[in-house]
Structure formats: structure tokens, C-alpha cells
Amino acid sequence: MTARLDAKFAALAQEGRAGLVTFLTAGDPDPATTLALLKGLPAAGADVIELGMPFSDPMADGPAIQWASMRALKAGQTLAKTLDLVRAFRASDATTPLVLMGYYNPIYVYGVERFLDEAKAAGVDGLIVVDLPPEEDDELCLPALKAGLAFIRLATPTTDDHRLPKVLANTAGFVYYVSITGVTGTVTPDFDKVGSAVARLKRHTALPVAVGFGVKTAAHAAAVAKGADAVVVGSALVEALRTSLDAEGRATEKTVPAVLGLAEDLAAGVRAAAKAA
């Protein structure tokens, strides 16, 4: 069911290092740029790719990813076009795990069954839908699992030991640990607490634990990689993209190199942590 994700995390465990999970918003600032980045990220060191499904009210995201969603929607990005990007990516990459991340409303409007069928056929490996709690598993989580897609749940510093089993019950692929309380990309986490937080999660699950929110630099990535199975970076990559755009918000010749260059730096940080261990 989660073959690509399972194979990737097994390979990372054999290598003795954490993975790098990179996030981009689909269609930001245009589909062609997103596709060029998707194709370039694995060679830049991304082990897993999260592709954001643009939404007009991304409540869990900080300003960088909110603006990315606005740019993508303004450029005409839709959920159908996001699935088209996945198909185009899979035409040349059959191995890199790709997870769609976003909110339930666009999926509900698209039609759950239709979305799951098309996502699976396109080559999506899993879903992160941040506004569906375990109490709503019948809405999307259980149908996704039945369709062969991992449903990846978020745990936070406020998810206590009483709540954790419910959060983890139907989680597959990996657990996404949100290292701060708040929205994405706004606060730097306390890296000393990451290891103990991951250890607490692992007392409840055998799944790999990826840690994100607030990781901006190679040094941050290296610090998180010491205690996690994977490091998730989103806002920093999205911000590197934004600052490369022209005055009208269009991609320039600097856009793809800026994002992939940062991904390379982050990957080097993750790998340095393994050598230092």
C-alpha cells in the first residue's frame, strides 16, 4: 500500500541517516516551474516530496505558504491541474515518494472517490490533510487507506499520551511531528527537545517520524536530523522561490536554481548529521 514510502524509509535506515522531505505549492508561480522543481528535487537531495494543494484559507500555514497558495490560485491552479503535475512527474520518476498536502475542502468539492481514484492512478503515495481530526476518519482517511494511499497524521507538542493512540490509529507511511505550536515557518523550534519528542512518539508507533515546521537552514536540518527519521522543510523553500520572482510575481531564470540550491544545502545538512553521529 505504501510501497514507495516504505522502501524509502527502509533505505534511509540502512544508510543510517535521516531523510529530507521538501514541500512546494503546486502551481506556484506556474505549473511549468513546479514541474521543473519536482523533476530537480530528487537530484538535489530530496528523499520525499510534499506537494501542496492550493487552498484559499490555509489556516495551519504561515505567511510564506499562504502567499504561495494565493499566487498559485491567481495563476489558475486547480486540484485537477495538481494531479496533472503528479502524472507529468511520474513520467520520468517512478521511485521518489510524493505526498499531497492540504485541506479537505478542495477534495470534498472534487469528490472524495473521484479524487482518490485519480490520485492513486497519477502516482500519489499519501495524503496529509491537516484539518481532518481522527474523529472524522470516515470522511477521507479510511477511504484513502482502502484505496492504497497512506494517510499521514500530524502530532504536535500538545498531543499528549492519552490523545496519541487515537491520532496514530489509522496513520500510515510516516508520522509528521509538528515541532512548534503555531503555524508553519514562523518560529524556530527548540532542537534539544526534538529527540525526546520523537522518542515519545516511537513508544506509540513503529512508523518513521518526520519533523517539520520552522526548519530554515542546513544547520537547522542537521540539528533535527540527529533525532528524527526525516526533516521536513517547506516555508524556507517557498520563500526562496518568492524572492526569485520578478515584480509581477513571475518566475525568472533564478527561480529553479534558487530553490534547488537551498534543497542541496539542506540535504547536505541532513547528511552531515549522519556522518557526525
Q: Which of 6, 47, 61, 264 is catalytic?
A: 61
Indicate if 139 belongs to the active site: no
DSSP secondary-structure letter at 213? S
Q: How buried is residue 203: exposed, middle or buried, by Cβ count under 10 Å (0-12/13-18/19+)?
A: exposed
Q: Grid coordinates 518560529 are at which residue?
A: 187
DSSP secondary-structure letter at 153? P
Indicate if 61 belongs to the active site: yes
Nearest to 100 by CA among 109, 91, 92, 87: 87
For residue 29, whether the previous peptide bond is cis, meaning omega lies within 30 degrees of 0, is yes
Angle of CA points 169, 174, 176, to nearest 5°: 90
The strand pairing partners of 128, in sequence order, are: 101
User: Rounded CA gap, 272 and 83, in Å?
Assistant: 34
Q: Which of 50, 125, 229, 264 is catalytic?
A: 50
Q: Which residues are catalytic?
A: 50, 61
